[in-house]
Structure 1
Amino acid sequence: MKIFNAEKIKELDKLTIEKQQITSLDLMERAALQAFLWLVNHFQDKKTVYHIFCGDGNNGGDGLVIARLLKQNYFDVHVYIVPFNENFSIVFNSNLGRLKECNLEYEVISEATEFPNIGENHIIIDAIFGIGLTRELAGWIQKLIQKINYHQSFKVSIDVPSGLFLDKKTTIAIHSDVVLTFQFPKLAFYLPDNENFIAEIVLLPIDLDVKSIESIPSTYYYTDLNKIKKRYKPISKFSHKGTQGHALLIGGCFGKIGAMVLASQAALRSGCGLATVFVPKCGYEIMQTATPEAMVITDENYHKITNIEFNFQPKAIGIGMGIGQDDETTQAFHHFLKTIPFRW
């Protein structure tokens, strides 16, 4: 599954609108409906109380549609508008008008507004900022996000946690219990600096144009269980270690043979029929003791790898685990890279 940046996602939205002959309001309704269905399936008690914080852009428009759908299905809904632009987006205004039609009142929050009275068993829906956020947040909005984070209610973010940047480091954002993101995972979700903002990710399909998705390139991909199952090659009932591939693992130095122990065990566990490790002589007894099922060949040097030589043809080679940065090791690695295409 491709991972796109904000610019390409917007391009895909536009292409979908053109090719499917729908409006941006239709696409927003489609996305918000998926989020609404997840909410009512996850929180099935009709007494569930929702507090929806909506920015004045497209992400806020999603929040308004969700609010309307919840209200029409007789849930207790409270809506708070968080204005950060002088003018509301067109789709936001359209959905704000539809909110009024179903007699759902809303409160506009400002710097002087007291934080709403929200019960700990209520649900907070975050629809303030979406994927298009590029500037630092105003001080009062940062304080609002901090107050939402301090609150003990379950928090659901729509598409991305508000405040999260897709293309640079984030300092403050909603700490979401669940992110309901549309069509594609976002790269920022998987960066270690953003761990505190995202507890769980739910991917909601919104039927963006398939041919457009295929035609737009991406340098990042997300592999899920379905993709893995399609690539998985079942093992024949007549298979044996000689038919399941032979891996060569090269690495280790004095004091760092443990890296090779772990790597060899991982290789065998992943399905390699045979695993051979190439280590300095200091690693021989360690490897034979810790992973006796692996075969061991050694460098002539006791402490480090200085000359990579082997007399068989492996199916795959892994190199580098615990190998160190000694000059002789670096030269051996360089020589290996130069000669391996002619030997293997």
Structure 2
Amino acid sequence: MQIFATEQIRAWDEYTIRHEPIASVDLMERAATACYEWLMQHNYKGRSYSIFCGKGNNGGDGLVIARLLAQSNHTVTVHILEFGHKGTVDFQINLARLHDTTAGIRFVSSEEALHPIPPADVVIDALLGSGINRPTDGLTAQLIKHINNSGNEVIAIDIPSGLFVDHSSRGNTIIKARHTLSFQCFKPAFLMPENAAVIGGMHILDIGLHPDFLNTQDAPFELIDRPIVNRLLQPRQAFSHKGDFGHAALVTGSYGMMGAAVLCARACLRSGVGKLTCHIPASGYTIMQVSVPEAMCKTAENEHPAAEMDKYDVIGIGPGLGSDAANIPLLYTLFEQNRRPMVIDADGLNTIGRETALLNKIPPGSILTPHPKEFERLFGKTFNDYERIQLAQQKAAAHQLYIVLKGRYTFIASPDGKGYFNSSGNPGMATGGTGDVLTGILTGLLAQQYAPLHAAIMGVYLHGLAGDLAAAYTSQPSLIASDLIDCLGQAFQSISSS
């Protein structure tokens, strides 16, 4: 699913108006009706409403919602932000229609007109929409603060007023919504952690925008969903054998952190790899052999063995590796011996952060999986989430790497400049060891000859889907990393049957 910024969303509306065809006011009716139906289906039936409207098309949406609510016997008061201009044509049409209902209409033209909002009212925010390009100020900012300070439950239409679609809104005065009802596709703002507190629950409503428009656009970002992953899945052939699915190596573990190595190995095997060899310290030999009997082991007394590494189809390195100074020559050796794409995580990344010359030695096409703090150690600080995404794209292109920036909507930066946000996963996965599981999955997929981009897309989606399946069984608070591994088989079944 493509992720569109403001101009593309506006163009999609216009394309639908021309090619369906449909009048713009009727498209507004369709969008607002979808919001009204969402309210009726989600325990808002019978409530009273205070609806705040600007005079643009977002305000027009609010007027239609007000009319539909009033016509279904809800108590509705509409507050229109007044600056002395008429508003858009569609706004004016729907304002005239609203006069034929029981809805009360007030105009907010000064701070003195900011009356207390009845405590029981649901507030609908239809002030500004997604077209703004500067921070709110003056009366608009005062009205937003007034709504935020009311303590009422707020539902934003399209986007919380004051929030920019495709660049950072830090410092802006923004509506704080309990829910946001938006249309047709995700916008970049909805995927940034810094906006979570103002967006609340995110709901994308299908309003029937013309599907052919998607064939005319090459969006810079895409949302990874089940249909995409289903198309990438490689079915197994009847006469396959283990040699067809690759030989992976994991360079993981250290004294006291063999759990990370075990989680990574188990996930690698569950992802479908043909053979797995774990390169571990001698102190972890018994742990690995007992915990993961399907894996082979190679050990060294005091450090990780790194001989004959060129024989593996893929190497995964990092989970539980520790911060030993010997990791630096270890990575130099690995990068010299095997020039195939690797998966690098955790202490593998931290080692590169300390020895930045290693960054230029990484085999092209490798997948790096940092969380935000590891990303900062590798590439430097950024001031907001948008800058971090842009920096990830720049570094992916400069070094010909795939950077998997982990988070709620894990982001994949591809060397060709395109970015992918993952749609699966849940907050229960914010627990130790889940990153080690992801490393194992990605290593196993690369070993099976998935292209690095396809392995990254499939890996993050399967990882999140396994987390969703595990949380549905055990709950988010009690979820642990092993639960993801146990649910990987079900996750594969789910995408293969889509």
Question: TM-score band (shorter)?
Answer: 0.7 to 0.9
Percent identity between the aligned chains?
A: 33
One-letter amino acid of the structure 1 residue matched with residue 198 of structure 2: F
| Separation in 2, partners of 1:212, 1:94 | 27
Partners of 1:101 and 1:65 in 2: CA distance: 12
Aligned counterparts of 1:97 and 1:287: Cα–Cα separation in 2: 78
C-alpha distance in structure 1 between counterparts of 2:297 and 2:83, whole Å: 64
Cross-structure match for 1:43 = 43
* Residue in structure 2 matched with residue 206 of structure 1 by the alignment: 207
In 1, the alpha carbon distance for the partners of 2:35 and 2:233 equals 32
Q: Does 1:153 align with 2:152?
A: yes
Which residue in 1 is equivalent to 2:358? 330
Comparing 37-46 with 244-253, greater Cα deviation is found at 244-253
Cα distance between partner residues in 2 of 1:274 and 1:310: 23
How big is each residue's C-alpha offset from its partner over 1:212-256, in whole Å with a ceiling of 9 and x where there is no partner? 122211011112345545655678999997665544445789998
Which of 289, 307, 314 in structure 1 is aligned with 2:333?
307
1:287-343 per-residue CA deviation (whole Å, 9 max, x = no partner) reads 7636645545522798211311899999x7313441212559718x727559xxxxx
Relative distance call for 1:176 and 1:309 in structure 2 (3 A) is closer
- The 1:117/1:336 distance shift into structure 2, 3 A limit, reads closer
2:283 corresponds in structure 1 to 285
Separation in 1 of the partners of 2:241 and 2:83?
64
Q: Which moved more, 1:56-65 or 1:247-256?
A: 247-256
**2-side partners of 1:311 and 1:330: how far apart?**
14
Within 2, Cα distance between the matches of 1:169 and 1:34?
A: 28
Structure having the higher helix fraction is: 2
In the alignment, is residue 5 of structure 1 matched against residue 30 of structure 2?
no
Unaligned runs of 5+ in 1: 339-343
Structure-2 change in CA distance of 1:66 and 1:246 (3 Å): farther
Q: Is the 8 A contact 1:81 1:108 kept in 2?
A: yes
Q: State whether residues 257 and 322 of structure 1, in contact with CA within 8 Å, keep that contact through their aligned partners in structure 2.
A: no
Q: In the superposition, relative to structure 1, how do residues 266 and 86 fare at CA in structure 2: closer, same or farther (>3 Å)?
A: farther
> Equivalent residue for 1:341?
none
* AA of the residue aligned to 1:194: N
Matches of 2:84 and 2:226, distance apart in 1: 41
Q: Does 2:44 match 1:21?
A: no
Alignment-mate amino acid for residue 164 of structure 2? F
Distance 2:285 2:66 in 1: 61
- The separation in 1 between residues aligned to 2:134 and 2:118, in whole angstroms, is 29
Tell me how far apart the structure 2 counterparts of residues 94 and 252 of structure 1 sit (CA, whole Å). Answer: 67
Does the residue aligned with 1:206 lie in a helix, a strand or coil?
coil
Describe the superposition over 1:174-230 as per-residue Cα deviations: whole angstroms up to 9, x where unpaired.
221111110011111110111101221111111111111222110111123455456
Contact 2:246–2:273 (CA under 8 A) maintained in structure 1: yes
How far apart, in 1, do the equivalents of 2:177 and 2:237 lie?
A: 44
Question: In 2, distance between residues paired with 1:254 and 1:86?
Answer: 71
Q: Give the aligned partner of residue 33 of structure 1.
A: 33
Note closer, same or farther for the CA distance 1:261–1:208 as it changes in structure 2 (3 Å cut): same
**SS of residue paired to 1:208:** coil
The alpha-carbon deviation at position 105 of structure 1 amounts to 2.7
Q: In the alignment, what sits opposite 1:319?
A: 344
Matched, 1:194 2:195: yes
CA distance in 2, matches of 1:311, 1:295: 20
For 1:272 and 1:329, locate their aligned partners in 2 and report how far apart those are by CA, in whole Å.
Answer: 31
Aligned residue for 1:92?
Answer: 91
Q: Is the 8 A contact 1:250 1:318 kept in 2?
A: no
Which residue identity lines up with residue 193 of structure 1 in the other structure? E
Query: In structure 1, what is the equivalent of residue 183 of structure 2?
Result: 182
Mark the CA change 1:128 to 1:336 in structure 2 (over 3 Å): closer, same or farther.
closer
- Give the 5 Å matches for 1:249-268: 249=250, 263-268=264-269
In structure 1, distance between residues paired with 2:106 and 2:114: 11
CA contact (8 A) 2:66 2:76 kept: yes
What do the CA deviations read for 1:45-99 (whole angstroms, capped 9, x no partner)? 43x1111111111111000001111111111111111235744122111111111
User: How many residues are treated as equivalent by the alignment?
Assistant: 332
Matched residue, 1:135: 134
Q: When the two structures are superposed, what TM-score results if normalisation uses the length of structure 1?
A: 0.81
The answer to whether the 8 Å contact 2:39/2:45 transfers is no
Change (3 A) 1:206 1:254: same
Distance, in Å, in 1 between the alignment partners of 2:130 and 2:362 is 47
Amino acid at match of 1:22: I
Distance 1:211 1:270, change over 3 A: same
Q: Residue 138 of structure 1: CA displacement?
A: 1.3
The secondary structure found in structure 1 opposite 2:333 is coil
Contact 1:177 1:198 (C-alpha < 8 Å) held by counterparts:
yes
Q: Distance in 2 between matches of 1:96 and 1:247?
A: 65
Q: Which amino acid aligns with 1:139?
A: G
Letter in 1 for 2:9: I
